[in-house]
């Protein structure tokens, strides 16, 4: 059985009191115990959030939005895997489109980050997806396969299953323009076919693939009802407790 996951990528939002208030309100609500719920706040809030979820029994985790591939050293402004683990992070986003486009993160750098995560035993959520022009040119399948090949398909069969994948069409991120459940399902199914071709069917069937891009309290149910969509990576809608709780409870 694949894990059902709802991860909230807060991006560069909230202050510490706001962060704690949001987490406490979500912890107070009734949320499905079987769903893995991951808070991905800005770095300064990882430790307090990990403390806030410490005593909850029901599959709450905290993750980071980024990490550096090197172990330690003179990389001003960067954060190492060991630092992240020491403050309670168990997941980390790798390859988010905002990192790729605003910070010029290359496929090679992302590959190195993936290797760092696997070696250091933290779960990477590998984000990838096509841009609008690529979809309009009907190149999205090609781009998606390329992004898998470049940064994660070097992993062994034993290691690839330690990954979570997040398909995020760039044209849907923060735009309010969600992929239709059919469009998302079509790509998720294609990703599973790529996994099967590269590894095998058992591996393809065991990896959780999240959808991200304007997923919200209104459309999550329909998206999550698709056979190859195992949850969501939520930006804007993860900043409001009520919406995030509705999304967590959107699996049928
Ligand atoms: P959004 O962001 O839900 O605000 O579109 C998703 C993401 O960037 O992970």
The confidence band for 176, taking pLDDT boundaries of 50, 70 and 90, is confident
Looking at residue 154, its pLDDT comes to: 98
Q: Assess whether pLDDT exceeds 90 at residue 202.
A: yes
Using the mean position of ligand 1's atoms as its centre, give its distance from the Cα of residue 73 in Å: 31
Cβ–ligand 1 contact at 93 (below 6 Å): no
Mean pLDDT for 92-107 is: 97
Atom of ligand 1 nearest to the CA of 237: 3
Q: For position 89, which CATH number holds?
A: 3.20.20.70
pTM, entire model: 0.97
The confidence band for 3, taking pLDDT boundaries of 50, 70 and 90, is very high
List, for residues 33-73, the tens digit of each pLDDT value.
Answer: 999 999 999 999 999 999 999 988 789 999 999 999 999 99
Which residue owns the Cα nearest ligand 1 atom 6? 235
Rg (CA), the chain: 17
CA distance 38 to 73: 29
* Bridge pairing between strands 123-128 and 209-212: unpaired
The two tokens of residue 192 are: 């599973």
Q: Assess whether pLDDT exceeds 90 at residue 1.
A: no
Find out whether 164 and 208 touch, Cβ atoms under 8 Å: yes
CA distance 179 to 53: 32
* Bridge pairing between strands 123-128 and 164-167: parallel
Q: What's the distance, Cα to Cα, between the start and end of the chain in Å?
A: 15
C-alpha 137: how far from its chain's center? Answer: 26
For 156, the domain range is 4-248
Domains in the chain: how many in total? 1
């Amino acid at each position: 059985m694949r894990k059902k996951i709802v991860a909230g990528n807060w991006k560069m939002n909230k202050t510490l009191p706001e962060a704690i208030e949001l987490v406490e309100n979500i912890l107070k609500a009734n949320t499905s115990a079987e769903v893995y719920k991951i808070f991905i706040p800005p770095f300064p809030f990882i430790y307090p959030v990990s403390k806030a979820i410490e005593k909850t029994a029901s599959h709450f985790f905290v993750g980071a939005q980024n990490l550096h591939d090197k172990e330690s050293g003179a990389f001003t402004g960067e954060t190492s895997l060991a630092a992240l683990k020491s403050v309670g992070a168990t997941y980390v986003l790798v390859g988010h489109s905002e990192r790729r486009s605003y910070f010029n993160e290359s496929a090679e750098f992302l590959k190195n980050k993936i290797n760092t995560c696997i070696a250091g035993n933290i779960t990477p959520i590998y984000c990838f997806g096509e841009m609008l022009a690529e979809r309009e040119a009907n190149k999205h399948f090609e781009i998606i396969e390329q992004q898998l090949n470049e940064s994660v398909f070097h992993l062994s069969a034993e290691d690839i299953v330690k990954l979570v994948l997040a398909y995020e069409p760039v044209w849907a991120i923060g735009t309010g323009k969600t992929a239709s459940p059919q469009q998302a399902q079509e790509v998720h199914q294609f990703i599973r076919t790529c996994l099967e071709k590269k590894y095998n069917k058992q591996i393809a069937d065991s990896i959780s693939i999240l959808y991200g891009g304007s997923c919200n309290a209104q459309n999550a149910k329909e998206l999550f009802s698709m056979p190859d969509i195992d949850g969501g990576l939520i930006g804007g809608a993860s900043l409001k407790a009520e919406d995030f709780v509705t999304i967590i409870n959107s699996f049928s």
